[in-house]
């Protein structure tokens, strides 16, 4: 294995660790606040958002916080729709 491959694998391993840590912290918080149902949906959201990142996984460090923010926005929307009374929701014409 050459130095480039070792370096590339090192970056990949670091990014995998950071992603796992970010996802784990996010899901733990959602589980504590909203329960297992929302935690499962939020995990799926997080993974979908991570797929939408522009950079290839080995090219440069990825912004895992941005993934969590996007998944949090989806969670907030789901929660707000669920808790908003029907008479308070806007009517689409």
Q: Is the pTM of this model over 0.95?
A: no
Structure tokens of 76? 């907030």
pLDDT digits (tens, 9 = 90+) for 41-76: 999 999 999 998 765 555 567 889 999 999 999 999
25 — pLDDT class (breaks 50, 70, 90):
very high
The residue ranges of every structural domain in the chain are 23-53
Q: Give the residue-averaged pLDDT of 31-46.
A: 97
CA–CA gap between residue 22 and residue 4 (Å, rounded):
27
Measured between alpha carbons, how far apart are the two ends of the chain, in Å? 62
């Amino acid at each position: 294995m050459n130095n480039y491959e070792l370096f590339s694998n090192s970056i990949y391993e670091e990014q995998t660790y950071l992603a796992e840590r970010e996802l784990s912290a996010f899901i733990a918080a959602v589980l504590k606040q909203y329960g297992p149902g929302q935690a499962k949906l939020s995990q799926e959201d997080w993974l979908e958002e991570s797929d939408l990142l522009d950079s290839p996984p080995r090219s440069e460090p990825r912004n895992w916080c941005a993934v969590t923010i996007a998944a949090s926005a989806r969670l907030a929307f789901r929660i707000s729709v669920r808790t908003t009374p029907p008479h308070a929701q806007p009517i689409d014409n």
